[in-house]
Structure 1
Amino acid sequence: MALTIWLRIYSSFLLILFFSQNFVISSVQSSGDAIALLSFKSHITYDPDGALASWGNNSLHFCNWLGVTCSNHSGNEARVTALELLGFDLAGFLSPSLGNLSFLYKLHISETRISGSIPHELGSLSNLRLLNLSHNSLVGEIPHTLSQCFLLQIISLKYNMLDGEIPSNLSLCTMLRFIDFNSNNLIGIIPASFGALKSLEVLLLHNNKLVAMKEGDWNFLTALTNCSNLKFLGLGKNSLTGLFPISVTNLSVHLKYLDLEENQIYGGFPFGIEKLVNLQELYLGINHFSGAIPPSIGEFLMLKTFDLSNNQFSGSIPPSFCNLSSLSYLNIGINNLQGGIPPCFGWNKISGNIPIEIGDLFGLNLLNLGPNNLWGTIPVGIEKLTSLQRLDLRGNGLSGKIPYNIGNLSMLDILYLDHNDLSGHIPSNLGSCKQLMQLYLQYNKFMGPIPKEILSITSLSLGIDLSNNLLTGLLSIDVGLLVNLEYLALSSNKLSGQIPSNLAQCAQLKYLYMDNNLFQGNIPSSLEALKSLELFNLSHNNLSGKIPKFLESLQNVDLSYNHLEGEVPKNGVFFNSSAFSVHGNDKLCGGIVELKLPPCLENNQVSRKNHTLTMLLATVIIITCIILLFVLSIWKRRKSKKLPSIERFEKDHNHVQVSYAELRRATNGFSSHNLIGRGSFGSVYIGNLDHNWQKSIAIKVLNLQQKGASKSFELECKALRSVRHRNLVRILTSCSSINHEGNDFKALVFEYMSNGNLDKWLHQQSIFDNDRPKKLSIIQRMNIIIDVASAVDYLHNYGPIPIVHCDLKPSNVLLDEDMVAHVSDFGLARLLIDTTKQSSQTSTSSIALKGTIGYAAPGDVYSFGIILLELFTGKRPIDEIFNEGLTLHLFVKASLPERAMDIVDPYLLLQEEDDEVGEGLRRMRVVSKSELDCIISVLTVGLHCSEESPTERIPITQAFNELYAIRNIFLKSSNDRITHL
């Protein structure tokens, strides 16, 4: 009985404590909006970066929580009007309590890992204007209750896993301008009720499973003709079937973008579609269209992109095509980026000659006419298409020679001429195409040797296929210059001589086909250096000697029909009979049982004795060497104990590796408190290696689960091994070991940069001095960009080996305690063998498809120019204002020189505050003429570096010299002004 009484008293005490705590919390966060936000946080199950750490902090008003925006309403009560969480590493579910944020007008939660369904309660948000839940893992149906958000203007649910039908009652949201549901699993019909949305400008529904009401019933398209403001209509990659309706010609005259590709639409080319006079992009590829392409196509004077690939069009190419002066993308071939002729899934059958007037389409970036039934020669007019980046004429009946001046196409990165009847020599002039990444000339009748000039195009990385031709002569040792090449096919030619050992320098090579030639001699042992090699075909040649043991590490090997001899290995690829072939080599022996080869003859007694003596001698030598190395290591260890750890690293040019245990201690067990940043392939921690070394270090720990992380580690080590420059981050050491859980561990150790990276200084409010945001002055910005230019100039032109960084951006520019800039993160770098020291304009253009959105382009010079413009305007290249063709480059270009001060970073114009001046009294100051001239000159250099065409960009050396001169003039002018005062 007494126990029961005590339990009741204890329970009452706990209840009082619980309600008192809740009372404190509710008194601090009294708003219902705060409760709704806390409910949202409670549904988040994964937040490793602590993005929502500030949520629920009683000392911080909920309006100051990350991603929350408020405004005052009745009674001056702050209410949540916007919730924006973009790109955070969050997982969990959307809380139904979000429907209680009754003043919310913007809900933007995208690029996270949030899953589950969309709460029906969102229909209660009567003030909602924008709903963006794109790039998540949402499932289930789109709630019908969203139709109650009558003020909704923008809704984007793209890149999720939503299913079910599109709610037809969304048409009740009559103010809708933008609907994007692309890349989901939506089914059913497209609501014809959308025709009531008079303000609709964008409707993107591609990449779903939508159907017409029944085959040939396109009521929804007829209804959309009522949307007089419609500019973008995306219906591609669905299950739309039937005859293409004539109603498409009645769509809005403002329509710029029409995508119907990859459906099951048939019929002729839409008659009267040329009435859509403002159409700029038309995608009809991968359907069942047939018949001739009408001459009226020439009336699309605004057309930039025209895709008719993978249909059954016939007839000839209309001459009116040559009237499309705005055209940049023309595809009447197949949608396949891999080269060769893929399995038939629908080809056009365009015949006749390629019009010589094709050369009048000066703006073409892509020309794809293959495969078709074209004949005749390649017109010489094609040499005038100097903006062309991809030329695809494969799978036709073209004959004659390749135009000799094809090297004029200096922007070309992909060239497919395979599966034709072309002949003559391969033009050496092709060596002028310094950006070429893929060259496919197989299945033609080319003769003579492979030009050395082609083998010097270091940008060739995706592949070279010269197989099934009549090529003769030796394979030049210059093939070793193709250091970035992944695929090389020389099969079925008449190439002779020995396989050049320089081939081992092609470090990225994965697939190598040299079969059906006349190669002779041994398989070079130097090819063991090809660590990336997976498939090797040397069959049907005249090779001799033994099978090298290093071939065991490959995935597929064909050595059949040569003159090889000796024992066949039994390990690796030679253990799987389906993965290798050695047939037709009469002098081979041993190997696995399935080969049924004779056993290898045993050595005689003398040979065995000699072998024993040799092994004994080798053993003695090895033991002696081990003892000497052991003694030497003890001596070095004793000597080095007097030096701090980092000093030992600096004295050793080979970067002696530090242990995992030392790094773990240095970072307090890789504590989150030591975490200072995350990158594409890992995390960066601050640490102190030991008590003798007073300076902090930065430790980049690779996430080896991330695809490409190990490759990034190797590239960064290789890039930084030999470079030395004051504006490059200095690697102190590295670690390749096993962690405490028995998993692989790789890390790089750098000097710690106490002032962080440039991105934080430009865009984040985390850089403060005495509770005030720090600002970068004009001269500080000048010094930083000159430091970056100096580093890039050294990498391209003055280092031991030319290096292309491939990922220049503000977050990779680190600032030390003296605000000196250091370029970092070489995880995407490429090393170029360039003995002629080409200009950075040429060298850097050899790398593509790498880097960061907004900065990536063919070349470091372009990325440098974008950083410069961002540094002085304070705007990222991916800022939301840059859309519909407007870029940071064009934004600056349109404002110089008259409106230069309208676009500069506002922090450059803030009046310096005195201690006595209140914080809210900041003013814009008057800019001097010397400052104005400096800013205009610097921005002009940035424009010259960020031109879209590499041929129009200035070299990095010139950019460095001009910026250096601008800074000197500015400093002199500033000093003169001070002296005068």
Structure 2
Amino acid sequence: MKLCNSNSCLALALLFFSINLPWLLQGLAPGNETDRFALLNFKRGITSDPTGRVFNSWYDSFHFCSWFGITCSPRHQRVTSLVLKGQNLMGSISPYVGNLSFLRILDLQNNSFHGQIPQEVVNLSRLQLLLLNNNTLKGKLPSNLSHCSQLRIIDLSVNGVEGKIPTELGRLAKLERLVLGVNNLTGEIPPSLGNLSSLTRFSVLRNNLVGNIPADMGRLISLTFFSVAANHLSALGNLINLIDLGMEHNFFIGVIPSFIGKFWKLQGLLLWGNRLSGLIPSSLGNLTRLSILQLSQNKFEGSLPSSIGNCTSLMLLNVARNHLTGHIPQEITGLFSLSILLNLKQNSLTGNLPDGVGKLINLNQLDVSGNNLSGEIPTTIGDCLSLEYLNMRANSFQGGIPSSMASLRGLQELDLSRNNLTGKIPEGLQRLPFLQYLNLSFNNFEGEVPTKGLFRNASALSLIGNAKLCGGVTELGLPKCPSQVMKKGKSHASKLAITITCVVLGVLLMLAILILACRVRMSRKRSSPTPSSMADKHHVKVSYRDLHQATSGFSSNNLIGSGGFGSVYKGFLNIERERPVAIKVLKLRQERASKSFMAECEVLRNVRHRNLVKLLTYCSSLDYKNNEFKALIFEFMGMGSLENWLHQPAGNLNFLQRLNIAIDVASALHYLHHLCENPIIHCDIKPSNVLLDDEMVAHISDFGLARLLFTNNDVFRNQTSSIGIKGTVGYAPPEYAMGSPASKEGDVYSYGILLLEMFSGKRPTEEMFVDGLNLHNFVKNALPERLTETVDKTILPREMEEKSATSSALPESEYKKEEIQGAEMSQKEYLLSILKIGVACSAESTKERMEMGDVAKDLHLIRSKFLGVRIYG
């Protein structure tokens, strides 16, 4: 059949090719074929793919743009990212990777690639992220990486790269992060790196570099993290925006320059394990944001500057293994913020351990061993209620062990060996429930050794070098104590007469005390204003008139909150020197209000902790209408409640602030549950009962439902409140609804819900939680795959920007969001760990819930890792 003439056929053919030519050319494009060929050669360099999921799709039956780890540009179908991080791959990096000319991201971190970094990488002119860290690569750095003019991040840390740092790197004008730590680099730091004006992180720690930091490096005023090796600090004077300065474990020499005090944003200063000498500059006291100060294992001399006491955010101070002399400044032992470690060991410090050490109520570890300290151990040491590790060995302490040490109920290790201590071993030490190691050797103790608690375990106890000790368990091998022999001059009749006389006098004395107590009680009932019967000598005395004046007649303008049992007003008491106070006025017409008042007073009378609201005094009196009036006066918390910060637009807490608050609350509950003489259950942990002071330190408040627990043969019984209501809907554990008594596990559940709310941004009472779904199940079912859907959206983006600035490194149109975030995944890992703790605490079964001591430890560890803290002796 005749279909067309020659002219019409030619026209149809031209029309067909004009329509389909772009698709035909794309399939035959040499660039596409070059990319496919380069990827296949890259695959041939891999000798092991343990999971099999990486290269199962790398076959011709699939287009290479759909292969695992490959992303292509939509328009040209050219490879723009090769991301195979954390797949346990083994092999070498093929030189053909240099043919992927459109590549912007090369991410092979956390594998086992060996061999050299191929020189052909320098052909990748569009490359922006080069992430090869945590492999076993060797050889030298490619010398012409400056050809990759778009590079923003280079991370080659934790490999075996050797040789010198190429001078040409100074031409990478857009470079923001240069991380070369933990390699075998040698030579000096090129002065040309001073041209990298966009650099925000520079790390070459744990290398073998020599020489000085070039003076040109001082131009890097935007630097937020700096870590170098085998150099000194003289050229850092312009780095006023530093946040973390990490130079640990290298070969630094010289002194710390005084201008370090200009780095007012500095939060972490880690210089341990070098050869620094001279004085520790007093200008460090200007660093009021400093959280971590690690100066151990150097050659510092002179005294420890008292100005460090101005570092009111300091959580860790480690100056161990230096040549420091002089006294321990009172200002340092008065740092309430110290919570992780105070390590002064192996210096030549003299004088007494200051009495102010008792102010370190939140400190976890204290080590003053190996010095020349003398005098008696201060009794205030018993106020350090969070101590778990206390080492005072190898000093010249005298006197006895203060009985107050029995208050350190969280103590796990205690070393007082090699001192000049005398007297008997306090029996209170055998009641420390968590003590695992006790070393009292080489002192002058005498008398009978206790036989309970830790003293039953001879392997956990060292008493050698105390010749006058006796008794104890047989495994200690001590001589038996001589029996008490009555003096010969006393007859049976005289002993009987003395006994009868003592009994009669005792009965008379008890009657006199009872009569006096009754009279005092009657007198108090007849008087109108009653000052705090439980306020110590520092507490003020207030009346209804004082409070009426302080609040302008309890004006609504001064009302700052209202709860089930009362209203809270802000006021100013003249006797408090015009500092604001919070006045909680009880609604006495409310059922159980009076009991709530007594419960809260009884609790707050017996507790002292940095993260518990401080009761100044209370008032129990009559108002101007002769109605009964009761009020509690607290220290004012200037930043309000956690509830407002979580759920009001003005709040906007960042990740670290939330973590600090979570640690504060966990520390307070650990104290209440395990470190009080009589354990306490709060019964109503929720955001509105967590108050923040001006430094954003969290304090637990509102003990109106609290219960005191007394131990008797390890069986707990309720002592104070008989209130039926326990907790708040959403935060109260499910067993309370079934009539179960209040318990520490109930507080743990409430804390778990609080923790999930803090990091998810969702209240447990939101409308979405119906038909068996609650906040616990919502988070648990989402982890770990849907972590980003669970986390409060206000946290992750901002913190990612603060930690690494990685998210802003590339236009989002040029990469996959999840791939660029691979450059800084630790933030998600921290969030995942925190949410897992919240899920574990809020488990439905009480047996599956964590203890608050373990919660506090785990959160401390997360914060330490987040801040880059490593604790070394």
Query: TM-score with structure 1 length normalisation?
Result: 0.46
Q: What displacement does 1:230 show? A: 2.5
Does 2:756 correspond to 1:877?
no
In 2, the alpha carbon distance for the partners of 1:394 and 1:476 equals 26
Does 2:55 correspond to 1:167?
yes
CA contact (8 A) 2:152 2:176 kept: yes
Q: What displacement does 1:878 show? A: 4.5
Does 2:440 correspond to 1:559?
yes
In 2, the alpha carbon distance for the partners of 1:440 and 1:601 equals 47
Q: List aligned pairs for 1:152-231, cutoff 5 A.
A: 163-169=51-57, 198=77, 203-212=82-91, 217-219=92-94, 222-223=96-97, 226=100, 228-231=102-105
Q: Counterpart in 2 of 1:247? A: 120
Q: What displacement does 1:809 show? A: 8.7
Q: Counterpart in 2 of 1:570? A: 451
CA contact (8 A) 2:681 2:707 kept: no
Of 402, 408, 413, the residue aligned with 1:524 is 402
Q: Counterpart in 2 of 1:650? A: 596
Q: What displacement does 1:334 show? A: 5.2
Q: Counterpart in 2 of 1:582? A: 463
Q: What displacement does 1:317 show? A: 3.9
Q: Counterpart in 2 of 1:465? A: 343
Of 695, 705, 723, the residue aligned with 1:733 is 705
Change (3 A) 1:518 1:887: closer
In 2, the alpha carbon distance for the partners of 1:414 and 1:853 equals 30
Change (3 A) 1:560 1:208: farther
Change (3 A) 1:444 1:245: same
Q: Counterpart in 1 of 2:378? A: 500
3-state SS, counterpart of residue 570 of structure 1: coil
Q: What displacement does 1:526 show? A: 0.8
3-state SS, counterpart of residue 290 of structure 2: coil
Residue identity opposite 1:209 in structure 2:
N
Residue identity opposite 1:733 in structure 2:
L
In 1, the alpha carbon distance for the partners of 2:289 and 2:249 equals 23
In 1, the alpha carbon distance for the partners of 2:280 and 2:692 equals 48
In 2, the alpha carbon distance for the partners of 1:743 and 1:235 equals 56
Q: Counterpart in 2 of 1:290? A: 162
Structure 2, unaligned stretches of length 5 or more? 1-48, 208-226, 519-587, 604-664, 674-679, 694-699, 732-754, 767-786, 809-873
Q: What displacement does 1:560 show? A: 0.8
Q: What displacement does 1:179 show? A: 7.0
Change (3 A) 1:412 1:267: farther
Change (3 A) 1:854 1:518: farther
Q: What displacement does 1:644 show? A: 9.2
CA contact (8 A) 1:316 1:351 kept: no
In 1, the alpha carbon distance for the partners of 2:241 and 2:99 equals 32
CA contact (8 A) 2:448 2:471 kept: yes
Change (3 A) 1:195 1:531: farther
Of 422, 445, 456, the residue aligned with 2:334 is 456
CA contact (8 A) 1:734 1:749 kept: no
CA contact (8 A) 1:317 1:351 kept: no
CA contact (8 A) 2:101 2:126 kept: no
CA contact (8 A) 1:477 1:500 kept: yes
In 2, the alpha carbon distance for the partners of 1:359 and 1:726 equals 36
Q: What displacement does 1:853 show? A: 10
In 2, the alpha carbon distance for the partners of 1:726 and 1:466 equals 31
3-state SS, counterpart of residue 86 of structure 2: coil
In 1, the alpha carbon distance for the partners of 2:336 and 2:292 equals 14
Q: What displacement does 1:330 show? A: 3.6
**1:753-800 Cα distance to aligned partner (Å, 9 max, x none):** 79x89xxxxxxxxxxxxxxxxxxxxxxxxxxxxxxxxxxxxxxxxxxx
The CA RMSD over aligned residues, in Å, is 5.4
Change (3 A) 1:362 1:537: same
Q: List aligned pairs for 1:271-282, cutoff 5 A.
A: 271-282=143-154
Residue identity opposite 1:261 in structure 2:
N
Of 470, 473, 481, the residue aligned with 2:359 is 481
3-state SS, counterpart of residue 705 of structure 2: strand
Q: Counterpart in 1 of 2:838? A: none
Q: What displacement does 1:382 show? A: 3.2
Q: What displacement does 1:385 show? A: 2.8
CA contact (8 A) 1:423 1:446 kept: yes
3-state SS, counterpart of residue 390 of structure 2: strand
Change (3 A) 1:535 1:302: farther
Q: Counterpart in 2 of 1:33? A: none
**1:349-368 Cα distance to aligned partner (Å, 9 max, x none):** 98764142222233332222
Residue identity opposite 2:598 in structure 1:
D
Residue identity opposite 1:711 in structure 2:
H
Q: Counterpart in 2 of 1:53? A: none
Relative contact order, higher structure (CA 8 A, sep 6+): 2
**1:553-574 Cα distance to aligned partner (Å, 9 max, x none):** 3111111111111112223322
Q: Counterpart in 2 of 1:344? A: none
CA contact (8 A) 1:356 1:381 kept: no
Change (3 A) 1:707 1:245: farther
Q: What displacement does 1:734 show? A: 4.0
Change (3 A) 1:321 1:566: farther
Larger CA deviation: 403-412 vs 200-209: 200-209
Q: What displacement does 1:278 show? A: 4.0
3-state SS, counterpart of residue 652 of structure 1: helix
Change (3 A) 1:489 1:275: farther
Q: Counterpart in 1 of 2:295? A: 417
Change (3 A) 1:855 1:383: farther
Residue identity opposite 1:282 in structure 2:
I
Q: Counterpart in 1 of 2:773? A: none
Change (3 A) 1:428 1:556: same
Q: Counterpart in 1 of 2:17? A: none
CA contact (8 A) 1:258 1:283 kept: yes
Does 2:271 correspond to 1:396?
no
In 2, the alpha carbon distance for the partners of 1:749 and 1:228 equals 69
**1:638-694 Cα distance to aligned partner (Å, 9 max, x none):** xxxx9997446424234899xxxxxxxxxxxxxxxxxxxxxxxxxxxxxxxxxxxxx
Q: What displacement does 1:525 show? A: 0.8
CA contact (8 A) 1:428 1:451 kept: yes
Residue identity opposite 1:877 in structure 2:
T
In 2, the alpha carbon distance for the partners of 1:744 and 1:163 equals 52
CA contact (8 A) 1:265 1:287 kept: yes
3-state SS, counterpart of residue 265 of structure 1: coil
Residue identity opposite 2:57 in structure 1:
N
In 1, the alpha carbon distance for the partners of 2:263 and 2:416 equals 39
Of 108, 111, 115, the residue aligned with 1:238 is 111
Q: Counterpart in 2 of 1:142? A: none
CA contact (8 A) 1:729 1:751 kept: no
3-state SS, counterpart of residue 502 of structure 1: helix
Q: List aligned pairs for 1:793-872, cutoff 5 A.
A: 811=762
In 1, the alpha carbon distance for the partners of 2:139 and 2:131 equals 16
Does 2:239 correspond to 1:361?
yes
3-state SS, counterpart of residue 497 of structure 1: strand
**1:97-152 Cα distance to aligned partner (Å, 9 max, x none):** xxxxxxxxxxxxxxxxxxxxxxxxxxxxxxxxxxxxxxxxxxxxxxxxxxxxxxxx
Does 2:468 correspond to 1:596?
no
**1:909-964 Cα distance to aligned partner (Å, 9 max, x none):** xxxxxxxxxxxxxxxxxxxxxxxxxxxxxxxxxxxxxxxxxxxxxxxxxxxxxxxx
3-state SS, counterpart of residue 508 of structure 1: coil
Q: What displacement does 1:437 show? A: 1.5
Q: Paired residues, what number?
A: 531
In 2, the alpha carbon distance for the partners of 1:448 and 1:724 equals 41
In 2, the alpha carbon distance for the partners of 1:352 and 1:535 equals 36
Change (3 A) 1:600 1:270: farther
Change (3 A) 1:446 1:730: closer
In 2, the alpha carbon distance for the partners of 1:195 and 1:559 equals 73
Aligned residues: percent identity? 31
Q: Counterpart in 2 of 1:315? A: 187
In 1, the alpha carbon distance for the partners of 2:191 and 2:681 equals 52
**1:44-65 Cα distance to aligned partner (Å, 9 max, x none):** xxxxxxxxxxxxxxxxxxxxxx
Residue identity opposite 1:230 in structure 2:
R
Change (3 A) 1:441 1:887: closer
Structure 1, unaligned stretches of length 5 or more? 1-160, 181-190, 336-348, 633-641, 658-705, 758-803, 816-851, 857-874, 892-981
